[in-house]
Amino acid sequence: MKPILIFVVLSLFFLLCLHTTVQAQTKVVKKGKTHDTIIVKHQHKVTKKPVAKPVATPVAVKEIILPTPEFINQPYYYDIDGNRLIKLENANALMVTKKKTLGLKGAKQFLSMENPSSKTRFIAKNNITFIIKTSGDVIDLTSYIKLYKFIPADEKREVTINSKEGVLNDKEEGKGKLINFSVKTISKDNYSIQLPDQLEAGEYGFVWVKNMELKEFTVFAFGIDWKSSD
């Protein structure tokens, strides 16, 4: 075959391949009676990788460990803001029995402490809580220790414990009052003393009453100065 003929055959084959490729990449759009040819380039789709969302780090909750009383059978005021215990005033109170009009108007027993107010005072506007540690032989703490509100009288603090009416019936009211509370176990031999209601401003004291035949009692005293919420 002559070189010129070979060249012609190869040229025709190249033009045929080019025409086929152009037809594969064109799109004919009809517009009325005319035809527009749009060349569409072949593009490969790019797969986007999903973006990982940041994982929120959980905030660790700090555990509050309650302080333990240094001495047993002694209530401590629990300062919740500072997570600390504050000792109460350690005072002595005498049990006084007083007969009125030789007993015709009855008799009363009351505890009497020196000084009309306690040096240990708290400005309270939230719940008041006390913590006490026992020796482990206390079954019912509320039957061994009582909380009283004392009334200042004649440069002393007094609270009526018992009163008995006489033949003539004296209308005199008792001084102070007994404050009820509940006890919650914190850990072995450690208890939280919780009050159902807020304490009024005044003088108070915890008294061990296991043996009411005693003439002298230890009182863990304190004073409350009430402050309204800001």
Q: Which DSSP string do the residues of 83-132 spell out, in sequence order? A: TEEEEPEEEEEEEEEEESTTTTT-EEEEEEEESSS-S-EEEESS--EEEE
pLDDT band at 166 (very low <50, low <70, confident <90, very high): very low
Which residues touch 188 (CB under 8 Å, ≥6 apart)? Answer: 136
Most confident of 4-13, 21-30, 83-92, 219-228: 83-92
Q: Supply the pLDDT for residue 130.
A: 95
Q: Is residue 174 within 8 Å of 199, Cβ to Cβ?
A: no
What 3-state DSSP class applies to 143? helix
What are residue 130's phi and psi, to 5 degrees? -125, 150
Question: Considering the entire predicted model, what is its pTM?
Answer: 0.66
Angstrom distance (rounded) from CA 91 to CA 204: 12
* 193-222 average pLDDT score: 89
Residue ranges of alpha helices (H) inside the chain are 3-24
Angstrom distance (rounded) from CA 97 to CA 110: 7
Most confident of 11-15, 96-100, 205-209: 205-209
Torsion 192-193-195-196 (CA) sign: positive
pLDDT band at 208 (very low <50, low <70, confident <90, very high): confident
**Which helix (H) or strand (E) is 163 found in, with range?**
strand 156-164
